[in-house]
Amino acid sequence: MTKSLVPLLERGGIVYDVEGTTPAQAIRDLIGRITLPDHLDGAALLKAVLEREDLQPTQAGHGIALPHPRNPLVTREDEQFIAIGLTKYPVNWHALDGEPVRAVILIVSSSARSHLHTLSKLHFFCAQPDFLALLFNKARKEDVERYVAEAEKAWEQ
């Protein structure tokens, strides 16, 4: 299981100015603008993520949504990724805290265990004002990766 979020972010990347006024539109634009593993079909990923979203919206509060498919669509750890989509305009995701979403973090994992590990770490980061500031100020991918790497290194000590 991948312990660090950095390789996941390196594979998924950050997409700036994600278009859409609804969660479905924002997710569609994000998926359409990222590089997927060779055998992962974008239409299948979109369908799976939207089906999961229909069950329960994935807003996490603080202006963040964490969409993901209900079941793994990749089988190898080196295919899993997180892709951060920074929205052009705030999206009403019907969050319990009333905050519109400005950062969509798509999670694609190879197993339920790996997904829960990634989700747990992301929930921690999404509660950190410094991390949120990086996202909402549309920081460079390298700066976000550096912040995550430094935080994870500090946890190990």
Q: What is the DSSP string of 134-157?
A: HHHTT--HHHHHHHHHHHHHHHH-
User: What are the tens digits of pLDDT across the range 93-125?
Assistant: 988 888 999 999 999 999 999 999 999 999 999
Residue 114 is assigned to a structural domain of this protein: yes
Q: Using 50, 70 and 90 to split pLDDT, how confident is the model at 2?
A: low
Q: Using 50, 70 and 90 to split pLDDT, how confident is the model at 59?
A: very high
Domain count, the chain: 1
User: Is the pTM above the cut of 0.85?
Assistant: yes
Residue 1 is assigned to a structural domain of this protein: no
Burial zone of 81 (CB within 10 Å; 0-12 exposed, 13-18 middle, 19+ buried): buried
- The 10 Å Cβ neighbour count of residue 141 is 15
User: What are the tens digits of pLDDT across the range 77-91?
Assistant: 999 999 999 999 999
Beta partners for 91? Answer: 101
Contact (CB, 8 A) for 118 and 130: no
Residue 139 is assigned to a structural domain of this protein: yes
CATH of residue 148: 3.40.930.10
Residue 11 is assigned to a structural domain of this protein: yes
Residue range(s) defining the domain that contains residue 98: 6-156
pLDDT above 90 (res 156): no
